[in-house]
Amino acid sequence: MALSQNWLAYDQPDLQGSVAVARTNGWLEAYIAVDGVHCAACVRGVQKALGGRVRDLSVHLVSRTATFRFNPVDAPLSALLQSLDDAGYRPHPLAQDLDAEASRLERRRSLARLAVATICAMQVMMLAWPDYFDAGKIDAGIEQLLRWSQWVIATPAVLYCGWPYLASAWQQIRLATVGMDTPIAVSILIAYAFSAWRTLQGEGAIYFDAATMFIMLLGAGRYLEGRTRAIAVDRLRSLAGRRPLTATRIIAGHVETVATALLNRGDEICVAPGDVVPADGALLDTLAQLDESILTGESRPVYRKHGDTVLAGSLNGNPFDLHLRVTGAGEHTRLAGINRMLLAAERDKPTLVLTTDRIASRFVLGVLFSAAMAAFYRWPHGADSAINAALAVLLVSCPCALSLAIPAVYAAAANLLSMKGVLLLRPSALDQAAQASHIVFDKTGTLTRAEMEVARVEVSGGMPREACIAVAAALERGLHHPLAKAIGALDLSKSCSDRSLETRGIAGTVEGRSYRLEAETHLDHGDAMTWLALTDDDGGVLARFGLRASPRTGAAHVVGEFKQLGLHPIMCTGDAQAPACAAATALGLPEVHWNQTPADKLGHLRSLQKAGAIVMAVGDGINDGPLLSAADVGVAMPGGAAITQAHADVILTGDSLDGLLELHRIAGVSQLRIRQNLGWAIGYNLLMLPFAFLGYLTPVLAALGMSVSSLIVVANALRLGGSVAPANAPGYPDAQMEH
Amino acid sequence: MEILYLLIPMGVVLIAGCIAVLLWAFANGQFDQLDEIGKSMPDDGR
């Protein structure tokens, strides 16, 4: 009998501290995942369940999470969670690791800057309009009024909207590095200061319009960049927070729910059927069946006896509660060890030096030098002419289009991919995906479905086929392991009593007769199926069931396509030899490695990378975590461990391996668009430079040309085919909450 | 065209007002959820 969920533990300060963040006036902000929210009506349901007890409730359909602020004194978190549970929306408090508030404020500020910059640019341009035409002499007083007005409106644009560039350039100068922001800041300041000086003088052309238009375009690029990143951060937040936060501890016969972090060695804990084991422990029951597939890739149930170690992260596959004595909790579990390996692997991940960064420093020095040269060249014609020329050079070569070239393509690619069921968590993975030479697949849960199916039933003749199936189903029904689920689903007609676990299987009584259903591990069938034998009282075999994890539909097709594209597919699995080889043959994979530990998988990856290969890795379990985080492109399946997904570069939200083909295809097209964009941006700059140098290009024309150039770059990026409006990702299976 | 001496400064003040309102809207979180709002049901007030 499963223990009822005890929400009261979340009112304890330590646990509450890890799932809720303090805001103003003693109010706390909680971030929870909610099951069962599919549509707008469910959003309304959540709103009604929580009622007026919370403030600022926002429910996110795509990530199926909710944020709200509550006052722990008036409305304790346990009561709110209970209301949600009662309404049918099972809540899961998420540990708050990433600082979401800071990124939310940053996004808000970025959009605000863009909005203000746009308004200012439009107004300044309107006031500067008369200067663009040679329609006659403007009254000197009005002209001066127009100048002053432009100055007033341009000031907030430069100080508020231009602040990120000014601050960043100052940082770069202080650290004696050169980056893109330096010439940007220099151009803005020169244009602004010079125009202000001219306004005070009362005569001459001014360039507030060029400066503000410049700031607006740069702001657009920055905003696009931030938006793409924001979508990924939201998903990462909801994944990274999923861990078993509470455990059930038994102290002196008294049952209590405590935070997992507070478990000590020697504590006795209790794990409900189907739940995840929260800590490593010694088994106190006589015999138990565990599902370790997400930890090791082993697709068959593991049997532990009294005293054996049960690992944190494995699933309780029995119909009864497990009792364990904790031997390692928190950082001392095998699970934590794998996570440490994952984080270490991530630090050593091959970083891609972005194309823009590589050419940036050389480009920037060249720009500043050219501007100085232009001023020097035009000096004989007067200071006015010199500054005009320098400004024109700075504005025309300032990388507006360059800074939009890549973010625009990433944003368009991420959008298009999300419509096809692929979530890009790190856009730089797109570059790597286009150049991948090898692709490493995990087996259990990735190439094969996590569920098993009954492939063969062989009857020995003692009982009719239907009866055998019914008895076997009765014995296995209600257990949580994939084998049990597969058999239990076959038939619902009979029920079993006196069920007990034996060393290799289940024994029980159905309709008065006792039976056993056991795994035939002593016979090596060599056909990679797991065989269970149904025997009666006397030990005579009545029937045998062959189960296997069926390959995903389309997996063979995907493998074949990749071979045709010239990539080398490999299988690396924690499963045993027979099932691994059988799957490899069925799917056409030329290279297989079995019985791989997480460290083994990582080792294979490293040797491939050392030989110069670019590796795409696809996996789902905790044991794939280090592999995915160290790979050039780590792709996670959505139904697997949350922590693996959180450290991957791509998640196949559509739960289909076809997403890999889409990723590869769109990555290739994106590379092409990026190269086109960069080529255009640089080519345009080089073309216009001599004109600016020689004084034929006024700063206004330079700024105008820049905007057209930027538009061309964005339009080219949009050619990727997605619409500009954000798309909903297709529904995806929830990551296993417990991991 | 002396009226411009009134209209142009008035325009500038108007713009300043617009920007102030815009910044208030941002600070109030009006632009935080551009996508999710479209998916929530209209509040009938019941």
- Number of neighbours of residue A129 by Cβ within 10 angstroms: 11
With CB atoms and an 8 Å threshold, state whether A127 touches B8. Answer: yes
Q: Could you tell me where the DSSP H helices lie in A330-464?
A: 334-347, 355-378, 383-397, 400-419, 429-434
Q: Please give the residue that has the higher pLDDT: either A512 or A245.
A: A512
CA angle, residues A200, A214, A168, in degrees to nearest 5: 95
With CB atoms and an 8 Å threshold, state whether B39 touches A108. Answer: no
Element (DSSP H or E) covering residue A34: strand A28-34
Please measure the distance between the N-terminal and C-terminal CA atoms of chain B and give it in whole angstroms.
Answer: 57
Q: At residue A663, does pLDDT exceed 90?
A: yes
Query: Which of B6, B10, B19 is the best residue to mutate to test the A interface, defined by the most A CB atoms within 10 Å of its own CB?
Result: B19
ipTM comes to 0.91
With CB atoms and an 8 Å threshold, state whether A153 touches B15. Answer: yes
Partnered with residue A560 across adjacent β-strands are none
Query: Which of A150, A153, A228 is the best residue to mutate to test the B interface, defined by the most B CB atoms within 10 Å of its own CB?
Result: A153
Q: At residue A545, does pLDDT exceed 50?
A: yes
pLDDT for residue A161 = 94
Q: At residue A356, does pLDDT exceed 70?
A: no
Residues of B in contact with A108 (CB under 8 A): 26, 29, 31-32
Of B8, B26, B33, the CB nearest to A112: B26
Q: At residue A516, does pLDDT exceed 90?
A: no
Of A43, A119, A123, the CB nearest to B39: A43
- b/e for A44-62, b at 16 or more Cβ within 10 A? bbbbebbeebbeebbbbbb
Quick one: average pLDDT of A413-422? 86
Q: At residue A122, does pLDDT exceed 90?
A: yes
Q: Among A31-45, A62-76, A85-99, A676-690, which is the least confidently predicted range?
A: A85-99
With CB atoms and an 8 Å threshold, state whether B31 touches A156. Answer: no
Q: Among A82-96, A448-462, A516-530, A693-707, which is the least confidently predicted range?
A: A516-530
With CB atoms and an 8 Å threshold, state whether B36 touches A60. Answer: yes
With CB atoms and an 8 Å threshold, state whether B39 touches A61. Answer: yes
CA angle, residues A53, A18, A648, in degrees to nearest 5: 110
Residues of B in contact with A142 (CB under 8 A): 1, 4-5
pLDDT confidence of A157, banded at 50, 70, 90?
very high
Q: Please give the residue that has the higher pLDDT: either A333 or A559.
A: A559
- Tokens 């001392």 belong to residue: A332
pLDDT confidence of A563, banded at 50, 70, 90?
very high
The model's pLDDT over A224-237, given as tens digits with 9 standing for 90+, comes to 777 777 776 676 67
With CB atoms and an 8 Å threshold, state whether A726 touches B4. Answer: no
Q: At residue A325, does pLDDT exceed 90?
A: yes
In this prediction, what percent of chain B has a pLDDT beyond 70? 78
Q: Please give the residue that has the higher pLDDT: either A537 or A148.
A: A148
Residues of B in contact with A149 (CB under 8 A): 8-9, 11-12
With CB atoms and an 8 Å threshold, state whether B35 touches A123. Answer: no
Residues of A in contact with B29 (CB under 8 A): 56, 108
pLDDT confidence of A371, banded at 50, 70, 90?
confident
Q: Which residue of B has its CA nearest to A61?
A: B36
With CB atoms and an 8 Å threshold, state whether A119 touches B12. Answer: no
Closest-CA distance, A156 to chain B, in angstroms, reads 10
Quick one: average pLDDT of A274-295? 86
User: A479 Cβ partners below 8 Å, 6+ apart?
Assistant: A289, A317, A318, A319, A485, A488, A506
Return the axis-axis angle of helices A699-718 and A383-397, rounded to nearest 10°. Answer: 0
Task: Using alpha carbons, list the distances in angstroms from residue A698 to A121, A180, A550, A599, B19.
Answer: 18, 23, 68, 62, 30
The answer to whether A710 and A656 have CB atoms below 8 angstroms apart is: no
Quick one: average pLDDT of A664-683? 87
pLDDT confidence of A116, banded at 50, 70, 90?
very high
- Tokens 């125009």 belong to residue: A195
- Taking the Cβ of residue B3 and every Cβ of chain A, the question of whether any pair is shorter than 8 Å is answered with no
The model's pLDDT over A706-730, given as tens digits with 9 standing for 90+, comes to 778 888 888 888 887 653 333 334 4
pLDDT for residue A239 = 67
Q: Please give the residue that has the higher pLDDT: either A7 or A349.
A: A7
The answer to whether A178 and A361 have CB atoms below 8 angstroms apart is: yes
The model's pLDDT over A138-155, given as tens digits with 9 standing for 90+, comes to 888 899 999 999 999 999
Nearest to A513 by CA among A535, A487, A491: A535
The model's pLDDT over B14-25, given as tens digits with 9 standing for 90+, comes to 999 999 999 999
Nearest to A329 by CA among A294, A277, A289: A277
Q: At residue A634, does pLDDT exceed 90?
A: yes
CA angle, residues A728, A729, A733, in degrees to nearest 5: 135
pLDDT for residue A458 = 87
pLDDT confidence of A592, banded at 50, 70, 90?
very high
The phi and psi torsions of A633 (rounded to 5 degrees) equal: -130, 115
Residues of B in contact with A40 (CB under 8 A): 39-41
pLDDT for residue A726 = 37
The model's pLDDT over A235-280, given as tens digits with 9 standing for 90+, comes to 667 666 666 778 888 888 888 888 887 888 889 999 988 788 888 9
Q: At residue A319, does pLDDT exceed 90?
A: no
Quick one: average pLDDT of A417-432? 85
Kindly report each contact of residues A363-366 with a partner whose C-beta sits within 8 Å and lies 24 or more positions away, as own/partner. A363/A399, A364/A178, A364/A179, A364/A180, A364/A182, A364/A183, A365/A178
Q: Which residue of A has its CA nearest to B4?
A: A142
Q: At residue A41, does pLDDT exceed 80?
A: yes
Q: Please give the residue that has the higher pLDDT: either A461 or A99.
A: A461
For residues A459 and A457, give the distance between their C-alpha atoms in angstroms, rounded to a whole number. 6
With CB atoms and an 8 Å threshold, state whether A142 touches B5. Answer: yes
In eight-state DSSP terms, residue A736 is B
The answer to whether A417 and A545 have CB atoms below 8 angstroms apart is: no
- Taking the Cβ of residue A44 and every Cβ of chain B, the question of whether any pair is shorter than 8 Å is answered with yes
Of A44, A58, A127, the CB nearest to B33: A58
Residues of B in contact with A724 (CB under 8 A): none
Closest-CA distance, A110 to chain B, in angstroms, reads 10
Closest-CA distance, B6 to chain A, in angstroms, reads 10
With CB atoms and an 8 Å threshold, state whether A112 touches B12. Answer: no
With CB atoms and an 8 Å threshold, state whether B1 touches A127. Answer: no
- Number of neighbours of residue A570 by Cβ within 10 angstroms: 20
Query: Which of A103, A105, A123 is the best residue to mutate to test the B interface, defined by the most B CB atoms within 10 Å of its own CB?
Result: A123
For residues A465 and A472, give the distance between their C-alpha atoms in angstroms, rounded to a whole number. 11
The overall average pLDDT reported for chain A is 82
With CB atoms and an 8 Å threshold, state whether B1 touches A139. Answer: yes
pLDDT for residue B46 = 57
Q: Among A117-131, A438-452, A617-631, A701-715, which is the least confidently predicted range?
A: A701-715
Partnered with residue A31 across adjacent β-strands are A67
User: A219 Cβ partners below 8 Å, 6+ apart?
Assistant: A110, A113, A114, A117, A118, A161
Structure token pair of residue A276: 């995840």
pLDDT for residue A523 = 57
Quick one: average pLDDT of A582-589? 88
Closest-CA distance, A60 to chain B, in angstroms, reads 7
With CB atoms and an 8 Å threshold, state whether A40 touches B40. Answer: yes
Closest-CA distance, A42 to chain B, in angstroms, reads 9
Closest-CA distance, A601 to chain B, in angstroms, reads 40
pLDDT confidence of A559, banded at 50, 70, 90?
very high
Q: Among A61-65, A279-283, A661-665, A717-721, which is the least confidently predicted range?
A: A61-65
Q: Among A18-27, A280-289, A301-310, A349-358, which is the least confidently predicted range?
A: A349-358
Closest-CA distance, B34 to chain A, in angstroms, reads 10
Partnered with residue A67 across adjacent β-strands are A31, A58
pLDDT for residue A737 = 38
Q: At residue A739, does pLDDT exceed 50?
A: no
Structure token pair of residue A702: 């330079």
Residues of B in contact with A60 (CB under 8 A): 36
pLDDT confidence of A444, banded at 50, 70, 90?
confident
Quick one: average pLDDT of A358-377? 77
- Tokens 């209970």 belong to residue: A82
pLDDT for residue A727 = 37
In this prediction, what percent of chain A has a pLDDT beyond 70? 89
pLDDT for residue A294 = 75
Q: Among A259-268, A329-338, A642-651, A665-674, which is the least confidently predicted range?
A: A329-338
Task: Please give the full DSSP string across A282-295, using - where no structure is assigned.
Answer: EE-SSEEEEE-HHH
Q: At residue A353, does pLDDT exceed 80?
A: no
- The beta strand positions in A448-586, using DSSP E, are 448-459, 496-501, 505-510, 513-519, 530-536, 541-551, 568-572
Q: Among A300-309, A433-442, A614-623, which is the least confidently predicted range?
A: A300-309
The answer to whether A684 and A374 have CB atoms below 8 angstroms apart is: no
- Taking the Cβ of residue A60 and every Cβ of chain B, the question of whether any pair is shorter than 8 Å is answered with yes
- Taking the Cβ of residue A57 and every Cβ of chain B, the question of whether any pair is shorter than 8 Å is answered with no
Please identify among residues 7-36 of chain B the ones whose CB lies closer than 8 Å to any CB of chain A. 8-9, 11-12, 15, 18-19, 22-23, 26, 29, 31-33, 35-36
Query: Which of B15, B21, B33, B46 is the best residue to mutate to test the A interface, defined by the most A CB atoms within 10 Å of its own CB?
Result: B15
Quick one: average pLDDT of A54-80? 85
Nearest to A280 by CA among A264, A291, A294: A264
Quick one: average pLDDT of A345-359? 61
Of A40, A109, A153, the CB nearest to B12: A153
